[in-house]
Amino acid sequence: MDGTEHGTGQGTEQGTGQGTEQGTGQDTVVLVGTRKGLWVGRSDGARAAWAWSGPHAAMTEVYACLVTPPSDSGPPRLWAATASSWLGPTLVRSDDLGETWVEAGVPRFPDDVDASVERVWQLQPGARAGELWAGTEPGAVFRSTDDGETWELVRGLWDHPHRAEWGEGFGGQAFHTLLPHPTDPDRLVAAISTGGVYATTDGGATWEPRNRGLKAEFFPDGAHYPEFGQCVHKVARHPAHPERLFLQNHGGVYRSDDEGGSWASIAAGLPSDFGFPVVVHPHRPDTVHVFPLGGGEGRFPPEGRARVWRSPDAGATWAAHDEGLPDGFWVGVMRDAMTADDHERSGLWLGARNGSVWLSVDGGRWREVARDLPDVMCLRAARC
């Protein structure tokens, strides 16, 4: 993977009066995974002017990226899961903010399983030191206990009797959501399209579906609320309230207050209940964001107007957070292409399928910080 600096004029906006965290020593890194490689952006805490490197791993698809603290002092560790039609999947990491990259281990099925990993859709750190979780296509979950050097298939989920009946969404069958519990390392919530939400409380040995109240609108009348088979698009939670989950469904926005045991709709007030991402504010557990799309009427925002919708009260009310976002926006935002960084004045990030990347600092005006990239599939941002 190369680390070439590009002077293309992307992300070169100077200060706009927002995000004046100058002199705090808190710099920022953002990873932008696309259908043709990975870009790494770097800025200071103000997040006004940007330097970009890329494409790293050009001509590979990057569906998952991650920023984790390193094992010793220094910058955070960057991860990217790449996939090539010719070479298959690869997992790479960088300990110098993208200047150099090394290959880690790749999740692979054991010899007794007649399947092969096509791509990694999700990477998440576990609660234990050195623990990583990966969600793949086809739908499987893998765990590493040695910081990504080796991986083990979570057989309790792969061997679950429901698996043979899981369907496949238009994007493929994949575990796109993995939510390790912040304090109990044996608990994890996972979600797959199409299959629904599953949870383990014993480290992955056994799993149960947690879909009560989630609608499968594409099923026949009388069968809209099955035990499993829902096309869940994304699930999120705040570590301060791990029992509360927010979910964007294929038709429906939901909240659970019992870690998926039951779900209630919170879509009232939104222009559409279809979309892909759902993001909880890192410092405000009641604040949640979605990006509604037109669903079957078109996988773009209603009336082509790019709008993030924000609820400050866990879904009771919604309002558009749209200052600075464009109209004539006829593209979608994928499930992992909206994220929040961990600055005290948090930035909310948005990446679109037209190759644009947008940033709003602390709920302020949106600014375009990159454009003309390939189709954006995932975003991760953090202090560095």
Task: Give the tens place of pLDDT for each residue, 119-155.
Answer: 999 999 999 999 999 999 999 999 999 999 999 999 9
| Whether residue 286 has pLDDT greater than 70 | yes
Is 3 domain-assigned? no
| Whether residue 106 has pLDDT greater than 90 | yes
CA 324 – CA 364 distance, rounded (Å): 9
| Mean pLDDT calculated for residue range 35-52 | 96
**Overall domain count for the chain:** 1
* pLDDT single digits (tens) 368-378: 999 999 999 99
CA 222 – CA 199 distance, rounded (Å): 26
CA 272 – CA 260 distance, rounded (Å): 23
* 51-65, 88-102, 157-171: the lowest-pLDDT one: 157-171
| Mean pLDDT calculated for residue range 320-341 | 97
pTM of the model: 0.92
| Mean pLDDT calculated for residue range 30-49 | 96
Q: 3-class SS at 157?
A: helix
| Whether residue 6 has pLDDT greater than 70 | no
| Whether residue 184 has pLDDT greater than 50 | yes
* Domain limits for position 204: 28-383
| Mean pLDDT calculated for residue range 74-92 | 94
Give 160's Cβ-side CA count (13 Å radius).
Answer: 23
Is 79 domain-assigned? yes
Is 234 domain-assigned? yes
CA 69 – CA 372 distance, rounded (Å): 30
Q: Could you give the dihedral angle defined by the CA atoms of residues 364, 359, 320 and 258, in that order, rounded to the nearest 10 degrees?
A: -110
CATH code (residue 217): 2.130.10.10
Is 251 domain-assigned? yes
| Mean pLDDT calculated for residue range 222-240 | 95
What pLDDT, on a 0 to 100 scale, did the predictor assign at position 33? 98
**pLDDT above 70 coverage of the chain, percent:** 93
What pLDDT, on a 0 to 100 scale, did the predictor assign at position 363? 92
Contact (CB, 8 A) for 149 and 163 = no
What pLDDT, on a 0 to 100 scale, did the predictor assign at position 171? 78
Higher pLDDT, 37 or 7: 37
What pLDDT, on a 0 to 100 scale, did the predictor assign at position 22? 35
CA 12 – CA 286 distance, rounded (Å): 33
What pLDDT, on a 0 to 100 scale, did the predictor assign at position 72? 74
CA 78 – CA 299 distance, rounded (Å): 31
Is 371 domain-assigned? yes
- How high is the mean pLDDT of the chain? 92
What pLDDT, on a 0 to 100 scale, did the predictor assign at position 20? 32
| Whether residue 382 has pLDDT greater than 60 | yes
Is 11 domain-assigned? no
CA distance to 65, 76, 119, 123, per residue, from 62 (Å): 7, 19, 9, 12
CA 384 – CA 369 distance, rounded (Å): 18
Is 7 domain-assigned? no
CA 312 – CA 325 distance, rounded (Å): 20
What pLDDT, on a 0 to 100 scale, did the predictor assign at position 68? 94
Dihedrals φ, ψ of 156, to 5°? -60, -30
**pLDDT above 90 coverage of the chain, percent:** 84
Higher pLDDT, 83 or 4: 83
Contact (CB, 8 A) for 16 and 49 = no
* 7-21, 45-59, 70-84, 149-163: the lowest-pLDDT one: 7-21
What pLDDT, on a 0 to 100 scale, did the predictor assign at position 138? 96
Contact (CB, 8 A) for 246 and 278 = yes
Higher pLDDT, 267 or 22: 267
Residue whose tokens read 């990975």: 38
| Whether residue 10 has pLDDT greater than 70 | no
Contact (CB, 8 A) for 236 and 226 = no
What pLDDT, on a 0 to 100 scale, did the predictor assign at position 298? 85
Cα torsion angle, 158, 242, 168, 379, sign: negative
Is 317 domain-assigned? yes
| Whether residue 297 has pLDDT greater than 80 | no
What pLDDT, on a 0 to 100 scale, did the predictor assign at position 220? 84
